[in-house]
Every structure is written in C-alpha cells, then in structure tokens.
C-alpha cells in the first residue's frame, strides 16, 4: 500500500539555489516538456511561422454554390430595379401618390441590393484569405489580422501592419473596387428623376373654364357689342391667322386632353384639303392657376368647328389692272361693280344681301385679283357648320357670329355702297402680303385663304373672349419620370 501511494503522488521537486541544474535535470528526464518550452519560446520571439492547407473538394463546391446564389440575387434585384424604372417611364404623367410608390419600391430595392453587395464583398474577402494563407507563411499577428479581415478598418490595419507591397496592393485594389461599386449604385439614382409633366395633364371632377362664343367681344368686354365692333374684332383676329399657323392635315389634330399652350405655341386650325374645308379645335382650361405658377392649364377638346368653301374663278377682261375706278368686266359674267379696290393687289368684298340661297350659315365672298398681265375674279360660298361634340353646349356659335367669321377677310367694320339696300364691304391687300398673294385662278388656294382667315377669327375669339365655367374634368399638373439616357431607361431624355 505504501509503495502504491508513493508512486501515485510523487513529492514535488525542491527549489534551491541550484535551480538551473535541477531544471536542466528535470528537462532531461521529460522530453515532452522540452519540446513545449521550445515552441513557447519561439512564439514569444514572434519567429514561429505556420502554414495552412486548403481542402479543395467539398469546400470548393460550397464556395461556388454560395457565390452563384449571391450572383443570382444581384441579377434579380438589378432586373427588378430596371423593370420598375421602365414601367414608370412608360406610365407617362403620374400622380404624387404614384411617385411615392415608385420611391418606396426603388428605395427598398436599393437597400436590399446594397446589403447583398456588401455581404458579397465580405464573403469574397473571407474566402480569399484561405488561398492567401495557403500560398505563403505568415507571422502570427499578420495571420490574426488576415483571419479577421472582414471590414474596411481591418483591411487598412492589415495593410499598415504588413507593409508588404503585395498585401498593400491587394488591399488597395479591393477597397477601390468596393468603393467603385457602391458609388456606381448610388449614382444610378442620379440618372433619373421626376419633373413636371409636359406630355399631359391629370384630370379630376371640377370646374372647367371655357370661352363664351356668343359674340366677337372687343377688348374682352362682355357687354353686347355693336355689329361694326364685332366685324372689326373678327377682322383683327383673322389677320393674325398666318402668325398662328395651320396644320396641314386633320390627321394632325391632337387628341382630347392633350396639352394646349396657347395660340403662339400650338395649332388650333387644321386643313382638310380633300374635303375643301378646314377645322378649328376648341380648347378649355383649369379653373385656377397652377401651383407651379405656370398659368392656366389648357387642353384640347374633341369639340370642333368646320368651315368649308366652294369657289369658282373667271378671268377679268377689262380694267384688270385696277388703275381705273370703272367697273371691271368678267368673262362669262359681264360688268361688275366694286365700291373700292387697289391696283396690283387682291380686293375681297361682300354684299350684305349675298347669302347662299337655301344653305344655312353660308355667305358669298368675292375677290378681285388685279394684275397687268393675269387678272382674276373669284366667287366663293363659305359655309360654317355647327359645333360638333358639344354635349354641354359651351362652344355654340350663333348664326350671326358664323356669318361675321365667314366674311371676316372682307369685313373691316364699316360699309361702302351706293344705297342702304346694297351695302358692300371691301378690304384690299397688297400682292406681297400673305392675304394678297396672287393665286392665278386657283380656286383651292383662294378658298383656303378665306376660310383660314375666318377660322383664325374664331381662334382669336376663343383666346380673348370672356370666360365662363362648367362642371367637368378639370386638368391638373402631373409628374413624369425623365432620365439622362434614353437607350438605357427608355424614358424621356433630360434636355
């Protein structure tokens, strides 16, 4: 029993002055202790280097699978981002609520994409450290920094501690690539943005403003004007017709609800040459000034007014140059009296009693084209139709106003004549003006001139007459998504 106890519990070694010799003796008696002290000494002197071997089988498959998963997540998020932007681009004019929905969706996608990219870079750094450690031996501190290099701060510490050109270069490249991706993602938001829509308005029930078209009101005065005042006003408006411009075909007529920015910006009169007529399109406005101080919001309507012509031409055989005050002689008609006319120009004239027999809202407008070599006389039936698609009866043109508009090119607000029963109005235009240019017997051109003048007088009245209101779809300013690059976003391009 005594020998067993002694073997299990040996007495501790004694500490004396000859400690080194005893330690050496103990070390010689215990080889394992000698090896441990050697390793500890080397670790304390920071000269112990270790190497790592990377298993390339199952670990490679795991890394590949994880990388592909994150890659697909990035592709899905980017595709969704692009799809959302393109959808909102194609929406055209949208509301403020739609803008908030877009911002919420894109913000969510941006956050998810940022998190995914950041975690991807972290995984890339974590994965790359094993081949790096396997490729070479590392000091213990450098090893520890490499193992914990999962943040920008850790990478900077690693580059500062290592001071090896290769390590510093790899850290700089990784940081540059990381920052470049983050900046690129943030810069995407700078390639598009919302702005006030110039393509169309939004509509909601409200008060719609429209011009009162019962008379030609001089200077916007809403009192009932005299006939001469109306004729002069119509003539003044009509003379600006070429300044307003005209559409070459009715196919160019804007759709209902399209933006209308005024006489000087948009057309309201359109030619229908095959049907020997022209068409005027009515407009209407919001009842209040825009919150963005852009003025009244105007839109085209589907209400239209047509004015047609039917003309004939005859050569003048006597006094065709207009130098004499005598009557002119017209081929197939005979002698014709004109109260006043100008030489080397075109004189339009009407007789108050020259309505078209059996044709409502029709009047006869005549013209004498004086020339030394090729004088002509024209007579045209000008007919003003009723307003179409006027369900609220807000663009009604009275018969009286229709006659005044049809004769506007000749009516200047005063009469010339030999007796009250044969009143005649004349207006002459030099041949170098748009209204006096010779057409040499072309009935289509002379009819177009007369009708354009008449519809331009209607356009002027619609722009400057007093306004009224009715309950309808009131236009409101909306928003549209615009982008810096059309090819990428398929949006309106920033000018």
Q: Which helix (H) or strand (E) holds 205?
A: strand 202-211
Write the pLDDT tens digit of every residue in 101-153.
Answer: 999 999 899 888 888 887 777 776 666 666 656 556 656 666 666 666 666 67
Q: CB neighbours of 209 closer than 8 A, spacing ≥ 6?
A: 284, 285, 286, 287, 296, 467, 468, 469
Q: What is the mean pLDDT of residues 367-380?
A: 95
Mapped onto helix, strand or coil, the DSSP state of residue 299 is strand
> Is 244 inside a domain boundary?
yes
Same domain for 180 and 299, yes or no, is no
Mapped onto helix, strand or coil, the DSSP state of residue 469 is strand
Whether 252 has a pLDDT exceeding 60, the answer reads yes
Both tokens assigned to 160: 């500062």
Same domain for 66 and 121, yes or no, is yes
Write the pLDDT tens digit of every residue in 61-95.
Answer: 766 777 788 788 888 988 898 889 888 888 888 88
Same domain for 152 and 216, yes or no, is no
Contact 359, 308 (CB under 8 A): no
Same domain for 207 and 140, yes or no, is no
Same domain for 179 and 246, yes or no, is no
Look up the domain containing 278 and give its range: 202-476
Same domain for 324 and 444, yes or no, is yes
> Is 392 inside a domain boundary?
yes
> Is 378 inside a domain boundary?
yes
For the chain, helix, strand, coil in percent to 5 are 45, 25, 35
**CA distance to 305, 354, 363, 486, per residue, from 359 (Å):** 17, 12, 9, 55
Whether 412 has a pLDDT exceeding 60, the answer reads yes
Q: What is the mean pLDDT of residues 337-364?
A: 88
Q: Which helix (H) or strand (E) holds 235?
A: helix 227-238
User: Which is it for strands 479-483 and 492-493: parallel, antiparallel or unpaired?
Assistant: parallel
In our burial notation (b when 16+ CB lie closer than 10 A, e otherwise), range 304-335 reads: bbbbbbbbebeebeebbebeeeeebbbeeeee
**CA distance to 15, 19, 227, 309, 471, per residue, from 276 (Å):** 130, 129, 29, 6, 36
pLDDT in the model for residue 417: 46
Same domain for 184 and 298, yes or no, is no
Mapped onto helix, strand or coil, the DSSP state of residue 415 is coil
Same domain for 320 and 464, yes or no, is yes
Winning range, highest mean pLDDT, from 33-47, 125-139, 255-269: 255-269
> Is 121 inside a domain boundary?
yes
**CA distance to 34, 307, 374, 388, 420, per residue, from 406 (Å):** 122, 8, 27, 18, 21
């Amino acid at each position: 029993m005594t020998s067993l106890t002694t073997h299990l519990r040996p007495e501790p070694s004694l500490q004396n002055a000859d400690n080194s010799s005893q330690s050496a003796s103990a070390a010689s008696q215990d080889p394992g202790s000698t090896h441990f002290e050697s390793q500890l000494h080397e670790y304390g002197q920071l000269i112990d280097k270790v190497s790592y071997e990377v298993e390339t089988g199952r670990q490679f498959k795991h890394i590949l699978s994880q990388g592909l998963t994150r890659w697909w997540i990035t592709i899905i998020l980017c595709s969704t981002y692009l799809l959302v932007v393109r959808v909102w681009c194609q929406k055209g004019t949208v509301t403020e609520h739609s803008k908030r929905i877009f911002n919420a969706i894109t913000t969510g996608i941006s956050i998810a994409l940022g998190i995914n990219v950041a975690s991807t870079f972290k995984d890339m750094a974590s994965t790359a450290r094993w081949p790096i450690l396997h490729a070479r031996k590392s000091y213990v501190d450098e090893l520890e920094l490499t193992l914990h290099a999962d943040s920008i701060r850790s990478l900077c510490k690693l580059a500062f501690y290592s001071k090896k050109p290769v390590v510093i270069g790899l850290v700089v490249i990784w940081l540059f690539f990381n920052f470049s991706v983050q900046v690129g993602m943030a810069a995407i938001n700078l390639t598009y943005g919302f702005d006030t829509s110039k393509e169309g308005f939004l509509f909601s029930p409200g008060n719609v403003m429209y011009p009162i078209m019962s008379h030609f009101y001089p200077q916007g005065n809403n009192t009932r004007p005299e006939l001469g005042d109306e004729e002069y006003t119509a003539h003044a408006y009509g003379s600006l017709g070429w300044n307003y411009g005209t559409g070459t075909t009715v196919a160019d007529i804007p759709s209902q609800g399209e933006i209308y920015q005024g006489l000087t910006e948009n057309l309201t009169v359109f030619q229908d040459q095959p049907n020997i007529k022209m068409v005027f399109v009515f407009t209407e406005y919001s009842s209040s000034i825009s919150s963005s101080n852009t003025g009244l919001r105007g839109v085209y309507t589907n209400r239209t007014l047509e004015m047609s012509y039917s003309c004939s031409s005859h050569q003048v055989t006597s006094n065709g140059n207009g130098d004499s005050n005598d009557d002119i002689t017209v081929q197939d008609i005979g002698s014709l009296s004109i109260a006043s006319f100008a030489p080397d120009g075109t004189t339009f004239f009407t007789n108050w009693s020259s309505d078209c027999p059996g044709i409502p809202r029709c009047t006869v407008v005549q013209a004498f084209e004086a020339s030394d070599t090729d004088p002509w006389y024209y007579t045209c039936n000008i007919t003003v139709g009723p307003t179409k698609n006027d369900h609220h009866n807000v663009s009604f043109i009275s018969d009286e106003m229709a006659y005044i508009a049809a004769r506007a090119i000749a009516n200047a607000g005063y009469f010339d004549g030999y007796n009250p029963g044969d009143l005649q109005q004349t207006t002459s235009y030099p041949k170098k003006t748009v209204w006096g240019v010779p057409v040499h017997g072309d009935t289509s051109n002379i009819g177009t001139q007369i009708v354009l003048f008449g519809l331009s007088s209607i356009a002027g009245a619609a722009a400057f007459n007093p306004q009224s209101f009715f309950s309808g779809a009131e236009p409101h300013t909306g928003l549209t998504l615009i982008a810096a690059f059309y090819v990428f976003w398929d949006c309106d391009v920033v000018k």
